[in-house]
Chain A
Amino acid sequence: MAGNEKVDVLIIGSGASGAAVAWSLAETKMRILCLEQGDWMKPTDFPSNGRDWEARRYTDFEISPNRRGRETDYPVNDDNSLMKIANFNGVGGGTIIYTAHWPRMHPSDFKVKSLDGVADDWPVDYWALEKFYEENDRMMGVSGLAGDPGVPPRHPPMPPIALGKTGTRYAQAMNRLGWHWWPSDSSIATTDYEGRARCINLGHCTPGCAQGAKASTDITYWPLALRAGVELRTRCRVREITTDEHGMAAGAIYYDSDGVERFQPAEVVILACNGVGTPRLLLNSASARFPNGLANSSGLVGRNLMLHPWPIVSGYVDEPLDGGRGPINTIWSKQFYETDPSRDFVRGYTLQFGRGTGPANQAIVGAASGLLPWGRDHHRRYRQMLDHRLSIGVACEDLPEEHNRVTLDPVLKDSNGIPAPKIDYTISDNTRRMMEHGIARAEEILTEAGATDLYASRTALNYPGHLLGTARMGTDPERSVVNEWGRAHDVKNLFIVDGSIWVTSGGVNPTSTIQALALYVANQMKQRLATLFD
């Protein structure tokens, strides 16, 4: 097997967390290497450059790796899950194809056991992460508006995305109902920012931003990390973490772009492959010393998978709006976020209000929902739908359950022959009650906004791509995989910084918290460099 020079720090994965931890550790002047199985993206790659921009979200920019099927993807067996797995493999990871909606977790999210008697408290709290949230907002470039009474104080460096006709319609309805709303924080540049051009309303943010206004880590953290001396190698797919005779991580075996098996030795290994990729790698790293997978003495590697059930309720109004002509993000509501004892479920959800989509997607969504007919009535009905759509997503907190898990598929393998992940996942009764509550509230809002032909998609279109909880953090080695600063209990030079270390999921898009947590772990490492392995 071909070998490489030893590095101080080996990071696996270059997405949201891998980029943040690489940038933060760069100031130590250690030799840092990141291995990424995907490619660099180019602005000209993104769909909004071409006339087939809408169709490509169902092909090479599809969020499901199983359908997208790029050479750089690995398959996921999610047959035994109502919710499907979304991800992206490339420099920037999932930030390439996220919507850039940017809420933070709430303080209560870190203390669900103490406050609500469910699941477990995190070993860190909101206030420990607050300065890293702020730092990350500056690094990624966040637009928003301070003063929201529904969330703790924060200071977005750019003004919010325009409400437009769609946001105004929602806001009018929310005010009539007396319910909270606020312009969403988004990691989309609304002004020129740190070398990035401002948003020009391409209206198609999710499958990559040709303008570079959406903050993906390939254009935020990575240029700075590379300039600071971090090395990033693409098309390198890691098969397993190896350990030495002392039970310490020795490095990683990976396949390079030519399919050649290589060994990369390292003093420290950091996993940043998120909630499916990280447990897959740990389970694939089983050895005589670690027969159940690396860092898995608790048996919790792969367990407690949380996917954020995310019903979407849509309807159509009688005036043309601005669907497809601006970011999908408009406003959020925290009206139903915190636990209310009068409800039949604990915890809560964010309402995320969306702008409509382009012509083809409107037709595809309309036909799939059964609202857009085939035949001679198609055109009349389509004209009532195009540019008239409102939709509200219900971002439900998904509590951890050990039977929701990632294991290794006994048959399915990727193109390098590495066993693929298998997902077993069910939606809990508490979450189902929460979903129905949120759907009912969304229907009230849409009705108040004058929408008709309401349609609730519970799970059919449900790929939020939030992959959390499968290597949870905690102080008890029997009940967690990593400690309160991200180091594996079982392997003292192995760290995890991605969504897998989450204890609970909150009811928000996770990227800002994933990155704040990665910066927090990096800061803890920097403070403990002399005693890192003690």
Chain B
Amino acid sequence: MVAALDSRLSAAETVALRKIAGTMVPADAVLGMPGADDPAILDDIVRSTGRDLPLVREALVAIAAKSGGAFAEMDQDTREGLIKDWYASGGAAAIALGRVILGAYYRDDRVLLALGHEARAPFPKGYVLEQGDWSLLDVVRDRQPFWRDDRVVPIEDR
């Protein structure tokens, strides 16, 4: 079967994506952040490609071409430099790849908890929004109306 007709990334494409995702968002042990190549996150990324699958495939092909097929063998610095360079001019494919990776990464429980966020959907609990400082409005209340009243004839036209 031709890979481009598949509705999911192939095993080989997933291997390539793992290296790319781990380069774009690497793990950081000090901050307690997993990398985007973490198995659970990567699985979510792969499942999330959906309508972006053609663009994600286009991105994988472009990165492979730019690295001469040796992306996985490059050291971290070289991989990061290549990704940054490619992303800046990668167009729709780059935006799509970034969106898919980040969309899955920033809903992972471990990531959200490490950022101090609750790992849950907004509904039904919602959030508390403080009122803020309404006294700041006092000076605005003192202003005279300044909208242009079309019923008022300018003095020079009277």
Contacts and interface: CB of A to CB of B under 8 A. Distances in A.
B50 A374 contact: no
Given A59-B51, A162-B129, A376-B80, A48 B122 contact: yes
Contact of A55 (B103, B115, B117): B103
B126 A375 contact: no
Given A201-B126, A370-B88, A376-B76, A111 B112 contact: no
Contacts of B125: 200
B141 interface: yes
A235 B147 CA distance: 44
Interface in A148-171: 149-152, 161-165, 167-168, 171
Interface in A265-300: none
B147 A210 contact: no
A489 interface: no
Contact of A363 (B83, B105, B145): B105
Contact of B129 (A210, A325, A360, A370): A325
Contact of A163 (B25, B106, B133): B133
A171 B83 contact: no
Contacts of A427: none
B106 A359 contact: yes
A51 to B, nearest CB: 5
Nearest to A373: B84
A443 interface: no
Nearest to A111: B150
Contacts, number: 192
Interface in A335-367: 337-339, 358-360, 362-364, 367
Interface size class of A (residues with CB under 8 A): 35 or more
Interface string A91-125: 00000000000000011101100110000000001
A54 B107 CA distance: 9
Interface stretch (B1-9, B10-18, B26-34, B67-75): B26-34
Given A48-B123, A151-B147, A375-B26, A322 B130 contact: yes
B24 A360 contact: no
A172 B150 contact: no
Contact of A115 (B51, B83, B112, B148): B148
B147 A201 contact: no
A379 interface: yes
Most B CB contacts (10 A, CB to CB) among A50, A163, A338 go to: A163
B28 A379 contact: yes
Interface in B113-149: 115, 117, 120-134, 136-137, 139-141, 143-149
Given A59-B50, A149-B140, A210-B123, A125 B84 contact: no
A53 B147 CA distance: 40
Contact of B127 (A163, A180, A201): A201
Contacts of A374: 23-25, 80, 83-84, 87, 98
A50 B98 CA distance: 21
B67 to A, nearest CB: 15
Nearest to B99: A364
Nearest to A386: B115
A52 B47 CA distance: 12
Nearest to A200: B126
B104 A168 contact: no
A55 B98 CA distance: 12
Contact of B132 (A111, A162, A364, A375): A162
B95 interface: yes
Contacts of B64: none
B62 interface: no
Given A163-B134, A165-B132, A125 B150 contact: yes
Contacts of A114: 150
Interface string A39-57: 0000000101111111100
Given A175-B136, A203-B122, A204-B122, A367 B98 contact: yes
B83 to A, nearest CB: 5
A248 interface: no
A110 B147 CA distance: 13
Interface in B44-77: 48, 50-51, 76
Contact of A338 (B83, B105, B133, B147): B147
B23 A51 contact: no
Contact of B25 (A46, A125, A378): A378
B102 A127 contact: no
A326 interface: yes
B128 A201 contact: yes
B130 A202 contact: no
B158 interface: no
Contacts of B134: 163
Nearest to A209: B123
Given A164-B130, A203-B127, A54 B147 contact: no
A364 B136 contact: no
Contacts of B131: 162-164
12 contacts: A49-B123, A147-B141, A171-B136, A171-B137, A175-B136, A200-B127, A339-B148, A359-B106, A359-B111, A364-B102, A374-B83, A375-B76
Given A107-B148, A125-B150, A202-B122, 9 more contacts: A168-B133, A171-B132, A181-B140, A203-B126, A322-B127, A374-B80, A375-B83, A378-B26, A379-B33
Interface of B: 23-26, 28, 31, 33, 48, 50-51, 76, 80, 83-84, 87-88, 95, 98-99, 102-107, 111-112, 115, 117, 120-134, 136-137, 139-141, 143-151
